[in-house]
Amino acid sequence: MAPTAAEQHTRKAVALAARDASGHLSPLAITRRSTGDDDVVIKILYCGICHSDLHSIKNEWKNARYPMIPGHEIAGEVTEVGKNVTKFEAGDRVGVGVMVNSCQSCESCNEGFENHCPGIIPTYNTVDLDGTITYGGYSGMVVVHERFVVRFPDTIPLDKGAPLLCAGITVYSPMKYHGLNVPGMHLGVLGLGGLGHVAVKFGKAFGMKVTVISSSPGKKQEALERLGADAFVISKDADEMKAAMSTMDGIINTVSANIPMAPLLGLLKPNGKMIMVGLPEKSMEIPPFALVAMNKTLAGSCIGGMRDTQEMLDLAAKHDVTADIEVIGAEYVNTAMERLAKADVRYRFVIDIGNTLDKAAAASE
């Protein structure tokens, strides 16, 4: 008789889990499946903290399964591969993003857009093909089908590179598919957090004029001097907003909260596009005139396919695009979540899983 899913989950790992909608994270011993023929086993060294992790652990999207182990900006080293694996071998520096499987046979999958597959298996909080619940990257190791593993170019450090696996592809993909990657075009980046600061860097790499639209005046100097933005508009400053009206070809909206949309759509030129990537908890209100007048487009975009994710990493290496990070120990994760909720991070927390997770787990016993 074939072994059950539970019998195949024999590998032990330490993880950080939320047990309820308080979102408090604490150590938990978990198991991972044994190596399948197409699987890559990865020792996790770093994991970025995406705002989606925060929305998820607090059950803001009303789909939480506890215990939940978040984390989908995973960077580490291959320790073992299954017998069919051709792309990777032990020792390779690799990453895993927001998905760990899909049907692999539908039109979307065949075209390289596994992110649009109706059978997509997100990295955590989902029932996996074997009936177990997926656990994310706030853990010591993970077993993933090779199709959903990408290779880090040699020049990208794993800590600064980890956030590219979600933040990077999530802003790169809409820039590519909505034509917001053209030199000389004017790009607005709304919200200067994890996604936003990478969007600024890609925009500059594409030779665009980039304006940050932010609710945090304290980020202005860094945005201009360190991240290379050309301009900075404070969204609460009526005069600055007025001066920027009708100037932008496109806006990548990365804001994680519900904010009034009409003034922001007003920043677009005629035929301008706003691409939503932020996923606030509640529905948005769009005054029809803000969209209809001057033929504006409001679109959405969800991460990106595996081919585009590898392309994005290779391009990031070429243009020296990595995340600006604050590396934290596993014991600091709850404080980091509180700070992330207040937009108090420059610009991505990354957990040093390799050096601190086991210690944090031992201390809590």
Note the residues at the interface with ligand NAP (CB under 6 A): 50-52, 55, 166-167, 170, 191-196, 214-216, 219, 254-257, 259, 277-279, 301-303, 340, 343
Angle at 35 between CA 32 and CA 37, to 5 degrees: 145
**Binding partner at 44 among Zn ion, ligand NAP, none, C-beta below 5 to 8 Å by kind:** none
Q: Which is nearer to ligand NAP, 181 or 309 (CB)?
A: 309
b/e burial code for range 90-100 (CB count within 10 A of at least 16 → b): eebbbbbbbbb
Beta bridge partners of 250: 187, 273
Q: Is 117 in the site for Zn ion (CB under 5 A)?
A: yes
Is residue 312 within 8 A of residue 164, CB to CB? The reply is yes
Q: Where are the alpha helices (DSSP H) in 226-268?
A: 238-243, 262-265
Q: Least separation, in Å, of the C-beta of 334 and ligand NAP?
A: 16
**Binding partner at 102 among Zn ion, ligand NAP, none, C-beta below 5 to 8 Å by kind:** Zn ion
Q: What's the start-to-end Cα distance of the chain, in Å?
A: 38
Locate 300 and state its tokens: 């959405």
Q: Which is nearer to ligand NAP, 326 or 352 (CB)?
A: 326
Select from 64, 81, 109, 198 the one that contacts Zn ion (CB under 5 A).
109
**Binding partner at 254 among ligand NAP, Zn ion, none, C-beta below 5 to 8 Å by kind:** ligand NAP
CA dist 15 and 25 (Å) reads 9
What is the per-residue binding string for Zn ion in 75-104, x denoting contact by CB under 5 A? Answer: ---------------------------xx-
Q: Which is nearer to ligand NAP, 54 or 69 (CB)?
A: 54
Q: Least separation, in Å, of the C-beta of 323 and ligand NAP?
A: 10
Is residue 127 within 8 A of residue 315, CB to CB? The reply is no
Q: What DSSP state is assigned to residue 241?
A: H
Binding site for Zn ion (CB under 5 A): 50, 52, 102-103, 106, 109, 117, 166
